[in-house]
Amino acid sequence: MHPRTSFSEGPYGKGRTNLFTLSLLLPTFLTLASCSVIETTFSAIKTTFSAMKTTYRVAKKTVKGTIWVVKGAYQFTKGTTKLAYQIGKFTFEVVRAPLEYPLMNDDIQTIDGLPVKEAIRLGRVKAAPYTVNGHHYVPMTLASAKTYKETGLASWYGEETRRQKDGHMTANGELFNPRALTAAHKYLPLPIHVQVTNLENGRSIIVRVNDRGPFPSRHNSDSGNRIIDLSRGAAEQLGFVEQGVARVRVETIELEEA
């Protein structure tokens, strides 16, 4: 597979890149108007939530904050090859790729000290260290990822796969779909969900991080300074397909089962 180029080099972005679940069972009576905003604690509610010191948002936005309700499964279980779920208004369809499919980023040399396909087969990818062109990357832990928030440049990648006969595999073994809401990140655990906001037009979406990147290209080392690489579908929704890159804010979101 030929190396992809960054947007400063050509028509397509370079790179790839990384769900923790915060299980909070918010009582149904939080839909009362008087409880629409929880600012510091749940002390007004006679439940076990008196120690909470943050704010939350539920599916119908009756409570403001950062929790997003998930409808459906969002992690592969043993023996499954497909899954579908919703986070708010965003729908995700995930397919496990056959191991013989080529990687989206064939510059990844090892994951957790193993050949990439072997690490994927054994499920040793999520927060495992990996090497790219001799450079060692160490992803953040799930605990660290909970508070991840970063502002920087985003690019998009993967358009070339639409013109190729066979499918391609992300770094955690999922089938890459350029129309899906997915992303690549160098350091986040895989998979995980983040909210990406285009600071140039205010648009915001949720994406599933399931790949690694973006990395420095052979023709443009600055491409490795971008903080996230989005699918074309995600870039379209954020409104920067034509310009190739955009200044964005990326932050992990917390999920609650519906």
Residue 66 confidence class, pLDDT cut points 50, 70, 90: low
Answer whether 116's CB lies under 8 Å from 124's CB.
no
Sheet of 67-71: strands edge to edge?
90-95, 82-87, 67-71, 254-257
pLDDT of 94 = 96
Q: What is the CATH number of the domain that holds 94?
A: 2.40.40.10
Mean pLDDT along residues 131-151: 96
How many independent structural domains does the chain possess?
1
Backbone angles phi, psi at 92, to 5 degrees: -125, 130
Residue that wins the pLDDT comparison between 139 and 75: 139
Answer whether 194's CB lies under 8 Å from 244's CB.
no
Mean pLDDT along residues 129-148: 96
Burial 58-91 (b: 16+ CB within 10 A, else e): bbeebbebebbbbeeebebeeeeeebebbbbebe
Q: How far is CA 7 from CA 24, 54, 93, 181, 222, in A?
A: 41, 39, 27, 19, 11
Q: What does the alpha-carbon distance between residue 169 and residue 117 come to, in Å, rounded to a whole number?
A: 10
Residue 164 confidence class, pLDDT cut points 50, 70, 90: low
133: containing domain: 1-258
Q: For 9-51, write each residue's pLDDT tens digit.
A: 333 344 433 433 333 333 333 333 333 333 333 333 333 333 3
Q: What does the alpha-carbon distance between residue 154 and residue 249 come to, in Å, rounded to a whole number?
A: 9
pLDDT at 203 over 90: yes
